[in-house]
Structure 1
């Protein structure tokens, strides 16, 4: 059957009517559930706690952070004195109030970031705002002192844009200035210098890339500015931007295409190598490593060879260590790693012309995750976050020189963690590879196959699944659920090779791994297929849909969010061509044959019953077109499968809408899972226990009857023997033994 092309039109009249009908049906089913509003209330309740942790950033002697509460569901960007924050003093200063702005302009604005202008003491910035949570954004000039947008200031219309300040009156801007200024991925292909008072059409073009490239990204790190031409998702050309009184030049750094600039350490650029770099005949650096090059020397001599930039190895991850992030100040480099899944912080200093590891860096409990949130440039302190599946986020102030670690804030728990435990297991995939997975379950777990279980996965783009507090999923634990997260290939949990083994031509491996974890849970009698639910979003939405279509009998429910599902045509929607390096190009015959085997939409069969599905997306998702979710729903429903669909008007791809909307998204999922998994699982356990009780009853009765029969037989024998004895010699006969 053909899917209506009208579903491809995001705001088309026919598509809008179809979405409204689907949403209405879903709301009637889920919102009427007696526990729906109770779940909403519980999820909202902790957002108002005064001692919550935030992803704070150092700003001189202050901290800045973004806060959402029930009173300010769209959020506020706040600034607070460091000492006041440490003492829980409510003396915050509002830099921008998004609720007030949304009400004033009657738009669903989402705050992205401030792009600060450094020339006037950071009193002026560009505010990046997205309408409805889109990836595209509007850039507007804003006065941080008066908290007002500047009349006739810089204003860039809604587009995929990037900008940096060149002076108080000029910007370097990459944005949409007409179709010939975009790449085939819909990203900026040119960079212009925009002077105050000019229109974009009047701005002078300084740099352009081939339209087959992904696009251009601009960044500023410390005192250095960079332009990155993304040639694919993992490769780029990196240029140092240098300006004089009369010219602006872009100098190409002599580093590998698949290398990534991660930070500036003093006057060295820190580079992450994905593959081996042969600098010269006698100097080679391994992949999966962090190294430095002298950016100050390159600035002075932009035509110099890489071997002359003093390349040094900072850290080598080997085959199995995943390098998560790198941050630095003037004295130390902080590297977050996963060492055989264990989250660690590596702290480096530069001494005697080499990088030295600080072996007194803080160590946190295993099966948790530690994150470097921010590092001070003024003193040797850093803000760290630690959490695990059962421990809410804890915020620490770390003094690097003294190694003093102080917990300054803790999030309140959302459920009683004492009843549960976290264990790490391994399933065996189709090719024999062992696949780790975390399981969170009751300490008194019954292995009778009757536990409602939710299995979550992602497996793409080298993103790692790491332990995190179960803010929302914890409520499912209270309903008797077992929660499982699978570290499948395609992700980055065990290093670059783990990713490449599950991407592109190897994409099916991700699905095999996920299915192997499901099989392990069933074999261990943790659950049974009809009580096993799976959940994933974006690439994870592709994952769960592909597995449910491949082996529908394994699963009792599927939650599929903002998913990629029409993989034969994904490159024709939104920014699809960006992902050629991850999925392959469907126009290539070899890749098309591979993709066709797993693309969920193309593999739906009319003669197969698929498990109940709940598919969610957003109208404002300009990264993964809502058509994917719409088309999948349409086809499954056409073949009379049980599918609920919901399309939020706002939220974009990452669900960055207001707080109330995000909570409602989670509540819908929880009600769906309870009804499809927990309710039948409870009934099955009751039936099983009743059956076992009856079995015990019949077994006990049978034993008693046999005992009574044996006793009666003994009495008969004994009576007969006594009679015989009384008629024999002396009336006594020896008893039979």
Structure 2
């Protein structure tokens, strides 16, 4: 799930949700498993893990699969994805010798070589050993324009909560006596070389019910946190408030606070020497950067200003001077999507804007340039039938890197000069699996309301269309997150190469066709998302591409909720279900981890109509004793401080209580993404693929 300027209408603070939640809890026999690190809970986890490890890791397929997974994860000829910092190329890298990873740099010219020479800036394995922590890299925020000092974010074991320390890129060391912010879910940026602006846990009463900060302060160099000066205070009912300092290549600078009232609705607040002021920007929009004094915004609702009508899902430019002077905003539309188009990414260079978009779930990219009268647009010539992402850009110059990926072609990296946009391929790693004889097709299924739902299927050319092909399908279906074609070396090696097929379903709730595709499945309208997914499965069976006995599904986080609902509503359609780091108790999600953040997506039990609907879909509450279900594999992590492991635990416990077969595994590290180190992510994927092989190939 998104953790950026996210938000959700939090009703817990009003008192109504708490009362309703208490009523729900009275009938919950497994409430004790919500005790996150409790002795009884962890003993239960240990016993369940032992049983599942015995089944999956002792399977004869496991040694080969985990070996292949580790080999792929540690391959030294992977693309070192770039970040542009201070005129250098930086990269965070993990391999067999550095399972926690190293942050390293090289020059742009050296990076273009087949085997660049790198200089290590920070070794997380050495730091973890020295400090007896399992530090996980969470990124760097560097002081512009020189970018010689950075704020390094480190997580203990992969949690969203981080420690932040000042790092000197010229010496390659942490700054002695420099800025250091203790563990918190927090957002921090530079005001100037000696001043930070931060939202974090400042003490009792400064976090929302979601566990995110709503108080913003400035902190001076050398001063303790207790001396920080308050700049802005949101409300406990918010999701949170985060600082966002915008810079451009012309030297313009704006300190803006993003107050997320709900997951999808933000107030934008300009910080000035005279105080703070709310900006007249649409609530459903996202700041994307700044160029030549123009702020770039991506909208998720219609907007009108200065006589200009902006369609939902557009990219728009606004004058920073107009924002500061409180003048009527004159809007310049950079891109207005068609019915089957969506803006996926926006990035700025010194003089240009780069847009990555999709057209019927296929990637496109363009460079836009401001002129005296508007903007010009130049389409980039890149491979078709693929996804295009913006890997790196900087406002120091016009260099940028784009990634291109598809189901059967390894991800490639392309460099452009945005001033003369002719992409040049600079990195192309070898294939990680044998794609010989594999093809990709795109079909559409008709959902219950007649809407056409596209999906991609990767399969063997000339395969028997008799329903005998083992097939796995995934989707997400929420939060305007798009699932587009991409190269998955692990699925390719562990599944496709062994004769299986793979499906991505572009169901509603996602962002494949813009905000409307997402908003069609919000709150009480959510059942259509689950209908879409089932419709794709049935369409596959109708085409004889697979059959229920040979069909498995998987998804994580919100996709884990999707899997839980499909497990309950259509157990006859799937013979294997993998439920990853999921939400499953939808009547108590507001009481667990960052759950209150997502009320804007799911609704709230404090609203009678929404509670009534949530009761119909909550996987934990809709398991039926005595009903025939496929044996699911449920996994989570103890360090997941976003969704929390409680959902997965309770769901497994209910299945056990009802005598329904299942497998459960909870890794003790990794956070919500389950990738604290190379070995962990490889192990988790290998266990999944062993499970699918047992169910769909071996018939176990």
Structure 1, 433-442 or 391-400: larger mean CA deviation: 391-400
Q: Deviations over 1:202-252 (max 9, x none)?
A: 322221012111111112221322211111111111122234xxx6x2232
Question: Of the candidates 418, 422, 439, which is equivalent to residue 421 of structure 1?
Answer: 439
More helix by share: 1
Equivalent-residue separation in structure 2 for 1:400 and 1:269 (angstroms): 18
Q: Shift in Å at residue 381 of structure 1? A: 3.0
Matched, 1:205 2:205: no
Question: Of the candidates 622, 627, 636, which is equivalent to residue 655 of structure 2?
Answer: 636
Counterparts of 1:82-481 in structure 2 under 5 Å? 82-118=108-144, 121-222=146-247, 223-243=253-273, 249-280=275-306, 282-299=307-324, 301=325, 304-305=326-327, 307=328, 309-359=329-379, 361-366=380-385, 368-474=386-492, 475-481=494-500
Q: Deviations over 1:443-489 (max 9, x none)?
A: 12111221111011111001001000121111211222111110000
Counterparts of 1:60-71 in structure 2 under 5 Å? 60-71=86-97
Contact 2:135 2:154 in 1 (8 A): yes
Equivalent-residue separation in structure 1 for 2:70 and 2:331 (angstroms): 50
User: 2:559: which partner in 1?
Assistant: 540
Unaligned stretches of 5+ residues in structure 1: 682-737
> Normalising by the residue count of structure 2, what TM-score does the alignment of the two structures yield?
0.92
Structure ranking higher on relative contact order (CA contacts 8 Å, 6+ apart) = 2
Matched, 1:25 2:55: no
Matched, 1:78 2:104: yes
Q: Shift in Å at residue 552 of structure 1? A: 1.0
Equivalent-residue separation in structure 1 for 2:420 and 2:308 (angstroms): 37
| Residue correspondences, number | 668
Question: Of the candidates 583, 590, 596, which is equivalent to residue 602 of structure 2?
Answer: 583
Structure 1, 399-408 or 583-592: larger mean CA deviation: 399-408
Contact 1:62 1:80 in 2 (8 A): yes
Question: Of the candidates 74, 78, 99, which is equivalent to residue 52 of structure 1?
Answer: 78
Equivalent-residue separation in structure 1 for 2:80 and 2:254 (angstroms): 28
Unaligned stretches of 5+ residues in structure 2: 1-26, 248-252
Structure 1, 312-321 or 526-535: larger mean CA deviation: 312-321
Q: Deviations over 1:356-413 (max 9, x none)?
A: 2214x213222x1111212354543321111100101111122344443322111221
User: 2:636: which partner in 1?
Assistant: 617
User: 2:505: which partner in 1?
Assistant: 486
Equivalent-residue separation in structure 2 for 1:557 and 1:570 (angstroms): 25
Q: Shift in Å at residue 339 of structure 1? A: 1.2
Note closer, same or farther for the CA distance 1:145–1:363 as it changes in structure 2 (3 Å cut). Answer: closer
Matched, 1:626 2:645: yes
> Rg: which structure is higher?
1
Equivalent-residue separation in structure 2 for 1:497 and 1:279 (angstroms): 21
Equivalent-residue separation in structure 2 for 1:116 and 1:375 (angstroms): 14
Contact 1:229 1:237 in 2 (8 A): yes
Equivalent-residue separation in structure 1 for 2:132 and 2:596 (angstroms): 34
Contact 1:51 1:410 in 2 (8 A): no
User: 2:593: which partner in 1?
Assistant: 574
Contact 1:185 1:575 in 2 (8 A): yes
User: 1:698: which partner in 2?
Assistant: none
Equivalent-residue separation in structure 1 for 2:394 and 2:259 (angstroms): 30
User: 1:672: which partner in 2?
Assistant: 691
Question: Of the candidates 42, 50, 53, which is equivalent to residue 16 of structure 1?
Answer: 42
Counterparts of 1:489-504 in structure 2 under 5 Å? 489-504=508-523
Q: Shift in Å at residue 47 of structure 1? A: 4.1
Q: Shift in Å at residue 60 of structure 1? A: 4.0
Contact 1:50 1:88 in 2 (8 A): no
Equivalent-residue separation in structure 1 for 2:205 and 2:581 (angstroms): 30
Contact 2:86 2:148 in 1 (8 A): no
Question: Of the candidates 533, 540, 543, which is equivalent to residue 514 of structure 1?
Answer: 533
SS at match of 1:99: helix
Q: Shift in Å at residue 631 of structure 1? A: 0.4
Q: Deviations over 1:155-197 (max 9, x none)?
A: 2221111112233333222111223111222211211222234
User: 1:688: which partner in 2?
Assistant: none
Equivalent-residue separation in structure 2 for 1:216 and 1:376 (angstroms): 25
SS at match of 1:122: coil
Contact 1:51 1:409 in 2 (8 A): no
Q: Deviations over 1:327-347 (max 9, x none)?
A: 112322111111122210122
Contact 1:52 1:409 in 2 (8 A): no
Contact 2:198 2:242 in 1 (8 A): no
Equivalent-residue separation in structure 1 for 2:335 and 2:548 (angstroms): 44
Equivalent-residue separation in structure 2 for 1:54 and 1:221 (angstroms): 27
Note closer, same or farther for the CA distance 1:591–1:68 as it changes in structure 2 (3 Å cut). Answer: same
Matched, 1:6 2:26: no
Q: Deviations over 1:281-321 (max 9, x none)?
A: x443222211111103433x2xx23x2x4322221113331
Equivalent-residue separation in structure 2 for 1:202 and 1:60 (angstroms): 31
Equivalent-residue separation in structure 1 for 2:191 and 2:289 (angstroms): 20
Structure 1, 449-458 or 86-95: larger mean CA deviation: 86-95
> Normalising by the residue count of structure 1, what TM-score does the alignment of the two structures yield?
0.88
Contact 1:95 1:147 in 2 (8 A): yes
